[in-house]
Structure 1
Amino acid sequence: MEHGPGKVLSLKGLTKWYGEKLVLDNIDLDVYEGQIIGYIGPNGAGKSTTVKIMLGLEATYAGEVEIFGENIKKNSVDYKKRIGYVPESADLYDNLSAQEYLTFTGELYGLDADTAEYKARLLMRVFELEEVYESRISSYSKGMKQKVLLISSLLHDPDILFLDEPINGLDANSVMVFKEILAQLAAQGKTIFYSSHIMEVVQKISSRILLLNDGKIVADGSFEQLRQKNKEGSLEEIFNQLTGFNEHQTLAEDFVQIVQREDV
């Protein structure tokens, strides 16, 4: 596989236990500038645990994590200013306006208040939300809240972006804009971890796909490489093959039959 000029992230022997359960099993991984990584796997495979460790939200683990060439246990704060994060479900401060929330977030990442406020207003305008910029977030729709989350993760121009189901609630046009934003950021050398259960999107946007199953990386490569190796047509089919899930048709038939029963 061809790599960009610089390694931005390295996991060496990353292992994590929760009590008796082995969640991450001796993972080795190198990630390079400009890669859009589709980070996929069944629920409970260890995806969010890996991300929490890389973000410094989970401190107890075995192995080494280096980001920007530094062991994150030795450099616990500085590297975080170069990271953006959109969690799958985030609690926004509903009583704040987007103006207040985004300015506050920008300051946390090291921007001065005026710069954060100015950039946030312009980004809200791009997403056609300038009219509600000073309204309380509690009045926003789900899609509007998601746009504010996306802006908050990118406001400080991070070098690595972690996205968990980032297009939840977005309309079709906004999804197209967002996918183009990711492509342009990657072209500038930014690194993006994109975690989603929507396989079609992951298949289309990723330059590299990592499939985690039972705490191990069971596939690593471009979609074309995975398709050639696994002799399957779509990422969803590759996913099902490698995770051993082949009951979807039977489960769907059972569901539909129950829905259509009249003899209850």
Structure 2
Amino acid sequence: MAGTSEAVNQAARLSEIGFPEFTTKLITDVFDSLVATNLRQTEAYIELLQQTGKTLTTFINDTKDDIGGELLLQFLAHALPPRDDKKEEDGTHVKEGNSLTNEEASTLNNALEVKDAGISSDNKVASAGALNETKVNAILEAVANRISADKYSLLKEMVKQGILRLVVEDGEIETRLTFNTYGSSFYQNKTSDYQRKNFAFRAKAKTGGLLSAWVKASASTSYNSVKVSTANKTDQDRSGSRVQIFGRVHVNFKTDYLPLDQ
């Protein structure tokens, strides 16, 4: 059958799939990924040590400009939220046109304080009175200093505890090829018969015995039968193939702490 022959031809093309190349690339990519991940972790450790090796003053000067407006607003909203009559309008009371009481200025300065960083007045820049653009900008600068100092303290603490890292213990790489092919042929021949029958009667009256026999009329009958045959013929041929390439990587890893504060 043509369908089966086509299916066999498809199966014979197995070498064109490139399954060995597929498996090779899977193994290579997994290896490259593991090496790259380990390098990335090492780079993060080195960067962390470099940052924490700086003095607090240097760290603040190097990082304060990276503090975004969202962080500044979050800090001020927590340190000095808006007064009751402005809660639905403002995120913080530190806004041009507002004014600070002595108590509010003291509260804000306590939140802004940064010691041992060589910053004038230990970063306490808030004062009672009206808030203009200059005063607001000074407060925002002080907030950036405070957030940077907090980051520095956090990084120092991380170094003391050690850095969490991922270590691969063992792994499994599996590749699988599923190749299915099929073929089929279908033949159908259907014949239908039907008949049409027709019976006719023809008669003429006799003309009498005086006439000669050859001119005498007589009754006669006739019978016709018609047979009709019809044939329907259907040929179907189906063939196909299906290829499934399956790859799976299973990696077991553990975590441990790499001591950095040595």
TM bracket, shorter-chain basis: under 0.3
- Given the two structures, how large is their TM-score scaled by the length of structure 1? 0.20
TM-score calculated relative to the size of structure 2: 0.20
Choose between structure 1 and 2: higher helix proportion: 2
Instruction: Give the structure with higher Rg (CA).
Output: 2
More strand by percentage? 2
